[in-house]
Amino acid sequence: MTPAMLLPYRPVLGQPVLRRLLPGLATSALGDGLALVAVTWLALQLAPDGQRGTWTAFAVAAYTLPGAAGTLLLGRWLGARSGAQLAGWDATVRAAALGAIPVAHLAGVLDIGLYVALLAVSSLLHPWGSAGRFTLVAELLPQRHHLAANALLGVFGQAATIVGPPLAGLLIAWVGAVWVIAVDAASFAVLAVSYRLVVPAVRREGAARREGAARREGAVRREGAHREPAVRHQAGDQHEDGERKGGDQHEDGDRHENPPTAGPSRTSGFRIIGRDRSLLGLLALTFAFFFLFGPFYVAMPVHVTDDLHASAGTLAAYYTAFGVGSLLGGLLTGHLRGRPLRTTLAGIVVLFGAALMPLGLGAPVVLSLPAFALAGLVWAPYQPTATALFQRRAGTVDLPRVLAANGAVTVLAVPLGTMLGGPATAAFGARPTLLACAVTILALGLVAAVSAARPGPGAHNTERTGPAGPHDRPGPQTTGPRDRPGPQTTGPHDRPGRVKAPERVRPGAS
């Protein structure tokens, strides 16, 4: 790994709070990589004969899907919490629930029903925990570093999917699947302690940020006494660059928070997304993208065995290639800053669909295997980029609820697509199903690209994650591109801030 590749990540690694969290995040990611194998293997061992497939499906679903219910049921109580609190509570619940599995095993009471129930409890707060991690990024870092931070968090998971499964296989053969799950529980306990230790530091940074924002606001108000009053913008107004902010940004990249757009409730995150056409479109794109990839989990093994007449080793080679491509793509994601986010997302979907085409067209392994690795390469930047757009358009007050609502919807997408993949593969065959998914994903990306190129009013396609000029370091101001049209004057007291909109002429002026 070259120093140039790490350049976008240096500000993230230099943030004191995040630097203290990274070891815990890496540890829990490895635990998740182990769980990819251990969860299903233990279900197979506990399930009655003749029902193994059914109970294994229940176990896999229980490890992911209850989080959607947790988003709705717990939104009223969790919606206003800080990022570190949400992520810490999720890690605590997962450590406790997963840790109860080996305890129940030692007590001789672990059966398949109790096992699935404990897995369901462990995933109840998962969307809130994910929302908390990325809210913490938004709380601690300027906007221009969000994409790199999101990508770095994703790299841990991508590396774990490569290292975790083979390591889990060795550990299962040595000590058994139940103790691999115990290791997973211990990894979440480490993460929970890490979050608990940084909560005071996060609070101190938040207090210092609010104090600095108050000083800047006072200076702006004093300066404003020399100006003609400007029309104030409302929280959530569409900016010329398509951003939807919860507050003003200052020179250090921090946000001056406005009151949340809605009080915490079970559905407030969904209401916020529903009022923002850009976020609603992003949620629809993500759901459709993940849903259309779901059938691959069914059709791909059938294609390898029935169409290619290959072994399980060939299937493992495809997944390994995808994982290696994803890891490299994750490392490269930080270098995408400064590019329009919506255009980047559309391009990812188009390239992903194109990379899957060789599989659907029945290309030989020598061609389809590197194409699948390319699919992994372009897949990796999608989630960090989509999260960066959420971080940009929703202020940190609303961000936990918005991200949790997004997670509750998207977590259903792949399982629903996988459920569709079974009947589709049985009816049409594996290769036609793969081809249909690839073509549909490609078409979805083209539609998204057209939408990004021709946005609706007030949502111009210039959202950026990195410095693109003076917009990256705005100074205090009372008027600018975000303000609604109205009377405005400028004078010697004006300070340079954002790039100003074309100067408006007052009514009656010549």
DSSP string, 77-89: HHTTS-HHHHHHH
pLDDT of residue 204: 63
Q: 3-state SS of the chain: helix, strand, coil percent to 5? A: 70, 0, 30
pLDDT of residue 486: 44
What CA–CA distance (Å, rounded) separates 384 from 292? 19
pLDDT of residue 148: 87
Question: Residue 203's CB: how many other CB atoms inside 10 A?
Answer: 12
pLDDT of residue 89: 92
Q: Which two tokens stand for residue 21?
A: 């969290």
pLDDT of residue 218: 54
What CA–CA distance (Å, rounded) separates 257 from 247? 5
Q: Quickly tell me which residue has 């997944």 as its tokens.
A: 319
- H or E stretch covering 425: helix 413-428
pLDDT of residue 485: 44
Sign of CA dihedral 305, 311, 316, 317: negative
**Contact at 8 Å (CB) between 295 and 347?**
no
pLDDT of residue 478: 38
Beta bridge pairs of residue 244? 238
User: In a 3-state reduction of DSSP, which class is residue 484?
Assistant: coil
pLDDT of residue 72: 77
C-alpha Rg value of the chain to the nearest Å: 24
What CA–CA distance (Å, rounded) separates 205 from 253? 13
**Contact at 8 Å (CB) between 408 and 67?**
yes
Residues in the chain: 510
**Contact at 8 Å (CB) between 397 and 257?**
yes
pLDDT of residue 238: 42
**Contact at 8 Å (CB) between 90 and 125?**
yes
Distances (CA, A) of 159 to 59, 127, 156, 163, 291: 24, 21, 5, 6, 24
pLDDT tens-digit profile, the chain (510 residues): 566 667 778 888 888 888 889 899 999 999 988 888 888 889 888 988 877 777 887 888 888 888 888 877 777 777 667 778 889 999 999 999 999 999 999 999 999 999 999 999 999 998 888 888 888 888 888 888 888 888 888 888 888 888 888 888 888 889 988 999 999 999 999 999 999 888 776 666 655 555 555 455 555 555 555 554 444 444 444 443 344 444 334 333 444 343 444 455 556 678 888 888 888 999 999 999 999 998 888 888 888 888 888 776 777 788 888 888 999 998 888 888 778 888 999 999 999 999 999 988 988 888 999 999 999 999 999 999 999 999 888 877 778 888 888 888 888 888 888 888 888 888 888 899 999 999 999 999 999 999 888 755 444 444 433 333 333 344 334 344 344 444 444 444 444 444 444 443 333 443
What is the pTM (predicted TM-score) of this model? 0.71
User: 56 CB contacts (<8 Å, ≥6 apart)?
Assistant: 40, 43, 44, 47
What CA–CA distance (Å, rounded) separates 133 from 128? 9
pLDDT of residue 179: 94
What CA–CA distance (Å, rounded) separates 484 from 120? 48
User: In a 3-state reduction of DSSP, which class is residue 24?
Assistant: helix
Q: Quickly tell me which residue has 């190129």 as its tokens.
A: 453
